[in-house]
A = this chain, B = another copy of it.
Amino acid sequence: MSGTTVRVLVVDDHPVVRSGLVGMLAVEPDLDVVGEAADGQAAVDLAARLRPDVVLMDLRMPVLDGVGATAALTAGAPGGGPAPRVVVLTTYDTDADILRAVEAGATGYLLKDTPRDELVRSVRAAARGQTVLTPTVATRLVGSVRTSAERLTPREAQVLGLVAEGLSNAEVGRALFIGEATVKTHLLRSFAKLGVDDRTGAVTEARRRGWLA
Protein backbone atom coordinates (compact mmCIF):
# COMPACT_ATOMS: atom_id res chain seq x y z
CA MET A 1 0.00 0.00 0.00
CA SER A 2 1.13 3.53 -0.74
CA GLY A 3 2.43 5.19 2.43
CA THR A 4 -0.05 5.26 5.26
CA THR A 5 -3.19 5.97 3.25
CA VAL A 6 -5.46 3.12 2.26
CA ARG A 7 -6.67 3.17 -1.34
CA VAL A 8 -10.28 1.96 -1.54
CA LEU A 9 -12.40 0.91 -4.52
CA VAL A 10 -16.18 0.91 -3.97
CA VAL A 11 -18.24 -1.57 -5.98
CA ASP A 12 -22.03 -1.64 -5.83
CA ASP A 13 -24.76 -1.43 -8.44
CA HIS A 14 -26.88 0.87 -6.26
CA PRO A 15 -25.94 4.56 -6.62
CA VAL A 16 -27.36 5.21 -3.17
CA VAL A 17 -25.06 2.69 -1.54
CA ARG A 18 -22.00 3.90 -3.43
CA SER A 19 -22.75 7.44 -2.37
CA GLY A 20 -23.17 6.37 1.23
CA LEU A 21 -19.94 4.41 1.36
CA VAL A 22 -17.94 7.17 -0.29
CA GLY A 23 -19.40 9.70 2.09
CA MET A 24 -18.59 7.57 5.11
CA LEU A 25 -15.03 6.78 4.09
CA ALA A 26 -13.98 10.05 2.47
CA VAL A 27 -14.03 12.00 5.74
CA GLU A 28 -11.34 9.72 7.17
CA PRO A 29 -7.94 11.25 6.38
CA ASP A 30 -6.18 7.91 6.09
CA LEU A 31 -8.77 6.43 3.70
CA ASP A 32 -8.80 7.40 0.05
CA VAL A 33 -11.66 6.33 -2.22
CA VAL A 34 -9.91 6.10 -5.56
CA GLY A 35 -12.82 4.89 -7.64
CA GLU A 36 -16.33 3.42 -7.95
CA ALA A 37 -17.76 0.65 -10.09
CA ALA A 38 -21.33 -0.45 -10.70
CA ASP A 39 -20.72 -4.07 -11.66
CA GLY A 40 -18.14 -6.80 -11.22
CA GLN A 41 -16.53 -6.53 -14.62
CA ALA A 42 -16.03 -2.79 -14.26
CA ALA A 43 -14.53 -3.44 -10.82
CA VAL A 44 -11.95 -5.86 -12.19
CA ASP A 45 -11.01 -3.45 -14.97
CA LEU A 46 -10.76 -0.49 -12.62
CA ALA A 47 -8.75 -2.40 -10.03
CA ALA A 48 -6.16 -3.28 -12.66
CA ARG A 49 -5.61 0.43 -13.33
CA LEU A 50 -6.10 1.96 -9.89
CA ARG A 51 -4.38 -0.72 -7.78
CA PRO A 52 -6.54 -0.27 -4.67
CA ASP A 53 -5.53 -1.76 -1.32
CA VAL A 54 -9.10 -2.67 -0.40
CA VAL A 55 -12.15 -3.39 -2.56
CA LEU A 56 -15.56 -3.02 -0.93
CA MET A 57 -17.74 -5.34 -2.97
CA ASP A 58 -21.45 -6.06 -3.19
CA LEU A 59 -22.47 -9.61 -4.13
CA ARG A 60 -25.66 -9.14 -6.15
CA MET A 61 -24.60 -7.28 -9.26
CA PRO A 62 -25.26 -7.40 -13.01
CA VAL A 63 -22.75 -8.48 -15.69
CA LEU A 64 -20.37 -10.18 -13.27
CA ASP A 65 -21.46 -10.86 -9.72
CA GLY A 66 -19.42 -10.23 -6.60
CA VAL A 67 -18.20 -13.79 -6.22
CA GLY A 68 -16.82 -13.89 -9.74
CA ALA A 69 -15.22 -10.49 -9.38
CA THR A 70 -13.68 -11.48 -6.05
CA ALA A 71 -12.20 -14.59 -7.57
CA ALA A 72 -10.75 -12.57 -10.46
CA LEU A 73 -9.29 -9.95 -8.13
CA THR A 74 -7.73 -12.28 -5.58
CA ALA A 75 -6.29 -14.47 -8.32
CA GLY A 76 -3.70 -11.72 -8.66
CA ALA A 77 -3.27 -8.64 -10.79
CA PRO A 78 -2.36 -9.37 -14.43
CA GLY A 79 0.78 -7.21 -14.29
CA GLY A 80 2.01 -8.96 -11.17
CA GLY A 81 1.86 -6.84 -8.03
CA PRO A 82 -0.10 -7.56 -4.87
CA ALA A 83 -3.77 -8.54 -5.13
CA PRO A 84 -6.21 -6.20 -3.40
CA ARG A 85 -8.02 -7.30 -0.25
CA VAL A 86 -11.70 -7.87 -0.98
CA VAL A 87 -14.28 -7.10 1.68
CA VAL A 88 -17.75 -8.33 0.75
CA LEU A 89 -20.51 -5.98 1.81
CA THR A 90 -24.00 -7.32 1.28
CA THR A 91 -27.53 -7.24 2.58
CA TYR A 92 -27.94 -10.96 2.97
CA ASP A 93 -26.34 -13.40 5.36
CA THR A 94 -27.33 -16.75 3.88
CA ASP A 95 -24.92 -19.62 4.12
CA ALA A 96 -24.37 -19.90 0.39
CA ASP A 97 -23.35 -16.26 -0.01
CA ILE A 98 -20.85 -16.47 2.80
CA LEU A 99 -19.33 -19.74 1.71
CA ARG A 100 -19.07 -18.74 -1.92
CA ALA A 101 -17.47 -15.42 -1.07
CA VAL A 102 -14.94 -16.93 1.32
CA GLU A 103 -14.11 -19.68 -1.17
CA ALA A 104 -13.56 -16.99 -3.80
CA GLY A 105 -10.94 -15.40 -1.58
CA ALA A 106 -12.72 -12.61 0.29
CA THR A 107 -10.82 -11.16 3.25
CA GLY A 108 -13.96 -9.94 5.00
CA TYR A 109 -17.70 -10.25 4.98
CA LEU A 110 -19.85 -7.41 6.34
CA LEU A 111 -23.57 -6.70 6.25
CA LYS A 112 -24.96 -3.41 5.04
CA ASP A 113 -26.43 -2.65 8.44
CA THR A 114 -22.91 -2.29 9.82
CA PRO A 115 -22.51 1.02 11.67
CA ARG A 116 -20.18 3.62 10.28
CA ASP A 117 -17.29 3.36 12.73
CA GLU A 118 -17.18 -0.40 12.51
CA LEU A 119 -17.09 -0.15 8.74
CA VAL A 120 -14.14 2.25 8.88
CA ARG A 121 -12.28 0.04 11.32
CA SER A 122 -12.91 -2.98 9.13
CA VAL A 123 -11.47 -1.29 6.07
CA ARG A 124 -8.29 -0.44 7.98
CA ALA A 125 -8.06 -3.98 9.32
CA ALA A 126 -8.57 -5.47 5.88
CA ALA A 127 -5.81 -3.26 4.51
CA ARG A 128 -3.48 -4.88 7.05
CA GLY A 129 -4.61 -8.27 5.81
CA GLN A 130 -6.80 -9.08 8.80
CA THR A 131 -10.01 -11.02 8.32
CA VAL A 132 -13.13 -9.12 9.35
CA LEU A 133 -16.45 -10.88 9.88
CA THR A 134 -19.67 -9.64 11.43
CA PRO A 135 -20.76 -11.79 14.37
CA THR A 136 -23.75 -13.14 12.47
CA VAL A 137 -21.55 -14.21 9.61
CA ALA A 138 -18.93 -15.75 11.87
CA THR A 139 -21.61 -17.83 13.54
CA ARG A 140 -23.02 -19.04 10.28
CA LEU A 141 -19.57 -19.82 8.98
CA VAL A 142 -18.61 -22.11 11.82
CA GLY A 143 -22.06 -23.65 11.58
CA SER A 144 -21.57 -24.44 7.92
CA VAL A 145 -18.13 -25.90 8.59
CA ARG A 146 -19.61 -28.08 11.27
CA THR A 147 -22.16 -29.45 8.83
CA SER A 148 -19.89 -29.37 5.80
CA ALA A 149 -20.44 -33.08 5.22
CA GLU A 150 -24.08 -32.22 4.67
CA ARG A 151 -23.69 -30.54 1.29
CA LEU A 152 -25.81 -31.73 -1.62
CA THR A 153 -24.11 -33.61 -4.45
CA PRO A 154 -24.39 -32.07 -7.92
CA ARG A 155 -27.00 -34.58 -8.97
CA GLU A 156 -29.05 -34.07 -5.83
CA ALA A 157 -29.00 -30.31 -6.27
CA GLN A 158 -29.98 -30.70 -9.91
CA VAL A 159 -32.94 -32.93 -9.06
CA LEU A 160 -34.06 -30.70 -6.23
CA GLY A 161 -33.80 -27.69 -8.51
CA LEU A 162 -36.19 -29.23 -11.02
CA VAL A 163 -38.55 -30.26 -8.22
CA ALA A 164 -38.53 -26.66 -7.04
CA GLU A 165 -39.75 -25.66 -10.50
CA GLY A 166 -42.79 -27.84 -9.89
CA LEU A 167 -41.81 -30.88 -11.95
CA SER A 168 -43.05 -34.29 -10.82
CA ASN A 169 -40.66 -37.15 -10.19
CA ALA A 170 -41.49 -38.72 -13.55
CA GLU A 171 -40.91 -35.40 -15.33
CA VAL A 172 -37.57 -34.94 -13.62
CA GLY A 173 -36.62 -38.44 -14.66
CA ARG A 174 -37.47 -37.78 -18.30
CA ALA A 175 -35.62 -34.44 -18.18
CA LEU A 176 -32.45 -36.06 -16.84
CA PHE A 177 -32.80 -39.39 -18.70
CA ILE A 178 -32.96 -41.44 -15.53
CA GLY A 179 -35.67 -43.58 -13.96
CA GLU A 180 -38.28 -42.16 -11.65
CA ALA A 181 -37.01 -44.40 -8.84
CA THR A 182 -33.62 -42.79 -9.11
CA VAL A 183 -35.12 -39.36 -8.81
CA LYS A 184 -36.75 -40.44 -5.58
CA THR A 185 -33.48 -41.70 -4.17
CA HIS A 186 -31.74 -38.40 -4.84
CA LEU A 187 -34.60 -36.58 -3.22
CA LEU A 188 -34.54 -38.84 -0.17
CA ARG A 189 -30.84 -38.24 0.32
CA SER A 190 -31.50 -34.51 -0.02
CA PHE A 191 -34.26 -34.73 2.58
CA ALA A 192 -31.89 -36.37 5.05
CA LYS A 193 -29.20 -33.77 4.49
CA LEU A 194 -31.67 -30.93 4.86
CA GLY A 195 -33.38 -32.40 7.90
CA VAL A 196 -36.85 -32.47 6.35
CA ASP A 197 -39.15 -35.24 5.21
CA ASP A 198 -40.98 -34.03 2.16
CA ARG A 199 -40.23 -32.27 -1.11
CA THR A 200 -41.89 -29.00 -0.23
CA GLY A 201 -39.96 -28.64 3.00
CA ALA A 202 -36.78 -29.51 1.17
CA VAL A 203 -37.30 -26.77 -1.39
CA THR A 204 -37.98 -24.10 1.21
CA GLU A 205 -35.08 -25.21 3.41
CA ALA A 206 -32.67 -25.36 0.49
CA ARG A 207 -33.82 -21.92 -0.61
CA ARG A 208 -33.31 -20.61 2.91
CA ARG A 209 -29.76 -21.92 2.91
CA GLY A 210 -29.13 -20.44 -0.51
CA TRP A 211 -28.48 -23.81 -2.14
CA LEU A 212 -30.99 -23.06 -4.88
CA ALA A 213 -31.05 -20.39 -7.57
Binding site for B on A (CB under 8 A): 13-24, 89, 91, 112-116, 119, 163-166, 168, 196-205, 207
Query: Using Cβ atoms and an 8 Å threshold, which residues of chain B touch A197?
Result: 166
Among B24, B168, B202, B207, contact of A19 (Cβ-Cβ < 8 Å)? B24
Q: How far is the CB of A178 from chain B (nearest CB, A)?
A: 19
Query: Using Cβ atoms and an 8 Å threshold, which residues of chain B touch A15?
Result: 20, 24, 113-116, 119
Among B17, B165, B203, contact of A17 (Cβ-Cβ < 8 Å)? B17
Q: How far is the CB of A185 from chain B (nearest CB, A)?
A: 18
A19-B20, A20-B23, A203-B203 are known contacts. Are A14 and B164 too (CB-CB below 8 A)? no
Among B19, B20, B24, B200, contact of A199 (Cβ-Cβ < 8 Å)? B200
CA distance A89 to B15 in the complex (A): 13
Query: Using Cβ atoms and an 8 Å threshold, which residues of chain B touch A18?
Result: 20
Name 15 extra pairs, CB < 8 A, besides A16-B119, A91-B91.
A14-B91, A15-B113, A16-B17, A16-B21, A16-B112, A18-B20, A19-B19, A19-B24, A20-B20, A23-B23, A165-B204, A166-B197, A200-B200, A200-B203, A207-B207
CA distance A201 to B22 in the complex (A): 43
CA distance A127 to B159 in the complex (A): 51
- In the complex, the chain B residue whose C-beta lies closest to that of A205 is B166
Q: How far is the CB of A197 from chain B (nearest CB, A)?
A: 8
CA distance A24 to B15 in the complex (A): 9
State whether A166 touches B113 (Cβ < 8 A). Answer: no
Q: How far is the CB of A171 from chain B (nearest CB, A)?
A: 10
CA distance A129 to B207 in the complex (A): 40
Query: Using Cβ atoms and an 8 Å threshold, which residues of chain B touch A201?
Result: 165-166
- In the complex, the chain B residue whose C-beta lies closest to that of A20 is B20
Query: Using Cβ atoms and an 8 Å threshold, which residues of chain B touch A204?
Result: 164-166, 203
State whether A19 touches B14 (Cβ < 8 A). Answer: no
Among B19, B91, B164, B200, contact of A23 (Cβ-Cβ < 8 Å)? B19
